[in-house]
Amino acid sequence: MARPTRHSAWDWVIFIALLAGVIITCAPFAWMISTAIKPNAEVFRFPPTLWVEAPLWDNFLRVFTVIPFGRAFANSLMVTGAITILQLIVCSMAAYAFACLQFRGREVLFLIYLAALMVPSQVTLIPNFLVVRNLGWIDTYQGLILPFAFSSFGTFLLRQYFKTIPRELIEASRLDGCSHWRIYLFIVLPLGKPALAALAIFAFVSQWNNFLWPLITTTKPEMQTVQIALSTLQGQFNTDWPLLMAGSVLATMPVLAVFILGNKAFISGLTAGSFGGK
């Protein structure tokens, strides 16, 4: 029997390491789903079991009656979808200006944009809250959406990708009489679909999981997002873990769906020059 070569042995080491990483990554999700279909008595059973003989699928329905989960879920979809669309519009226009237009102070202004990436979001939390409160936007959709309508990271991501678009193509369009708006809408945006998809996934996942901002800007149950609604299931002395995990499973579905639908475009946006540029 031939001995495996060093190359094939190394491939097996890499495969085992990757397989271990996949198991470690997926284990919490498997346990979350397992807990969601268990009765309370099974949650702290020792030794623990991953699957129960009589799963309680009713937990997924009960979460809609114990808390206003349906309204919170709809709020999260509305807020997250609006923020994602606004970031795509605003960031793509800013990125087009930085990548394709020539104006005085462009590089200095872009460095200021990059400097905003180094400012922690916690630093701007209180100023943003004071602005929203003074505008009377507490417990409103505009208070949840508009502070996140722009992203410095999104502008940087799209700008780096737009700079990979051949300059000759843009110059030829200008010679043919295209305005900046037509170049932006019919040339830059279609060619920038991979980067736009990557930004859309980043924005959607980030805002869907946003907890702190909705926590401080909403006081009414009908304005809460899904993350805030789920937190109400955790009590100081008692927590209904099957109910909480059932809600968590449902809250994970939109993020999983967005990533599955945009997986190819997301990978293409990251590998086709989005973080490169000229």
| pLDDT tens-digit series, residues 123-169 | 889 999 999 999 999 999 999 999 999 999 999 999 999 998 888 88
Query: What burial class does residue 81 get, using C-beta atoms within 10 Å of its C-beta: 0-12 exposed, 13-18 middle, 19+ buried?
Result: middle
pTM of the predicted protein model:
0.85
Whether 60 and 250 have beta carbons less than 8 Å apart is answered as yes
Residue 221 scores a pLDDT above 70:
yes
pLDDT at residue 200, rounded to an integer: 92
pLDDT at residue 3, rounded to an integer: 56
Q: Residue 239: phi, psi to the nearest 5?
A: -135, 130
User: Is the peptide bond preceding residue 194 cis, with omega within 30 degrees of 0?
Assistant: no
pLDDT at residue 277, rounded to an integer: 44
Q: Enumerate the domain spans of the chain.
A: 67-271
**3-state SS class at 123:** coil
Confidence tier at 239 by pLDDT (50, 70, 90): confident
Whether 165 and 277 have beta carbons less than 8 Å apart is answered as no
pLDDT digits (tens, 9 = 90+) for 90-131: 999 999 999 988 888 888 988 888 888 888 888 889 999 999
Residue 51 scores a pLDDT above 50:
yes
pLDDT at residue 49, rounded to an integer: 77
Residue with tokens 């980030």: 206
Q: Which homologous superfamily is 67-271 in?
A: MetI-like (1.10.3720.10)
Which comes out higher in pLDDT, residue 122 or 276?
Answer: 122
pLDDT (average), residues 248-263: 87
pLDDT at residue 194, rounded to an integer: 87
